[in-house]
Amino acid sequence: MTDAEKLLLKRSQQGDVVAFEQLIAKHQTLAYNVAYRILGNEEDAKDATQEALVKVFRNINKFKGEASFGTWLYRIVVNACNDYIRKHRKVVTYSMDHDKETEDGAVKMELADDGPTPESALEAKDLKETVQKALAKLPEANRIVVVLRDIQGFSYEEIAEMIEVPVGTVKSRINRGRDMLKKILISDQTFTFDLAR
């Protein structure tokens, strides 16, 4: 944590809202992305992120610096997502492209074309949708760690701190989650894997 961040943290702990907003500014997008990948819905992710940030603000005096501020914040985001799932008990859906409501009506939001042809763009879109649907079939504990590790890129240690379990448990859940994901994709006849690996 830089000296500037330490100062912002200290001022935040004294109730300075502007300092708090500056402190969390660099973490907000990633916090939302974590929530979105776990919950799979833009509005639910916004709600869970907002709830997490309120909890961070209310509990900032409890932050002791044992983990990085970002890790502490993301742990609260993951917990807020878990609370949201338990509270709403609905089927988690994943939207890879969706309509965005504007004052003038709905505007179609599309995935970026990451291939040179329309066919490759369609294949990429189908692949993302397929993987998101397969992720939705994973048990919550496995889905969260797979998202945090394979999509968001957190280390095993960071994930362990976020969800408050031993590193070995994180590794086990990730391996189990990846195996389940592979089986789901194979059973849907989406992919074939070289199982000799």
Select from 85, 83, 181 the least CA-distant residue to 132: 181
Mean pLDDT, rounded, for 6-28: 90
- Determine contact, residues 94/136, Cβ cutoff 8 Å: yes
- Determine contact, residues 146/174, Cβ cutoff 8 Å: yes
Counting beta carbons within 10 angstroms of the beta carbon of residue 3, is it exposed (0 to 12), middle (13 to 18) or buried (19 or more)? Answer: exposed
What token pair was written down for 73? Answer: 């914040």
Complete domains list, the chain, with CATH: 1-93 (1.10.1740.10), 137-197 (1.10.10.10)
The 10s digit of each residue's pLDDT in 111-169 is 444 445 666 666 767 777 788 888 888 998 999 999 999 988 889 998 998 888 999 99
CA distance to 5, 27, 106, 109, per residue, from 71 (Å) = 14, 10, 37, 31
Is a pLDDT exceeding 60 seen at residue 88?
A: yes
The CA distance from 146 to 172, in Å, is 11
Opening angle at CA 70, ends 14 and 44, nearest 5: 100
Phi, psi (deg, nearest 5) at residue 111: -70, 150
Contacts of 106 by beta carbon, 8 Å cutoff, 6+ apart: 99, 100
Would the pTM count as exceeding 0.75? Answer: no
Is a pLDDT exceeding 90 seen at residue 76?
A: yes
Alpha helices in 40-117 (DSSP H): 42-58, 69-88
- Determine contact, residues 22/11, Cβ cutoff 8 Å: no
